Amino acid sequence: MGRKLIFITGVGIGYVLGTRAGREKFDQMVAQARKFWESPTVQEAAGVVQAQATRLYDDGKQAVTEQMHRLSGREGVEGATSAEDLEAASRRSQFPANAF
């Protein structure tokens, strides 16, 4: 029983001392990360990456829509006009009604 008490006391003291020193270091790391993120160079790079991601998304969306239009002659997709209609028709053609 005495060893458990000593162990728990040691863990408690270590935790208190560690959190004081750890919190200070953590605050320093957060400040450095915030300074890095808010720098103009990083913000410019983030803007470029976001623009490229948006362009890739739009290109992919357009490619999928074009492919769905090419497949529009197959069963389950004829008559679909909007992107939502194409998506719903695609799901219907891939999975039978009783698949789930």
Residues 23-50: tens digit of each pLDDT: 777 788 789 989 998 999 989 999 999 9
Across the chain, what does the average pLDDT equal?
A: 77
Whether residues 7 and 29 share a domain: the answer is yes
d(CA 41, CA 39): 6
Show the domain range for 24.
1-38
Whether residues 44 and 88 share a domain: the answer is yes
Task: Check if the beta carbon of residue 60 is closer than 8 Å to that of residue 83.
Answer: no
Q: Which two three-digit tokens encode residue 16?
A: 């208190």
Residues 87-98: tens digit of each pLDDT: 776 666 555 555
What is the predicted pLDDT for the residue at 96?
54
Within a 10 A sphere around the Cβ of 85, how many other Cβ atoms?
13
The total number of structural domains in the chain stands at: 2
Q: Which two three-digit tokens encode residue 72?
A: 């529009």
pTM of the complete model: 0.44
Band the pLDDT of 100: cuts 50, 70, 90.
Answer: very low
Whether residues 34 and 45 share a domain: the answer is no
Whether residues 24 and 59 share a domain: the answer is no
d(CA 9, CA 66): 68
**Residue owning tokens 């623009």:** 51
Task: Check if the beta carbon of residue 86 is closer than 8 Å to that of residue 80.
Answer: yes
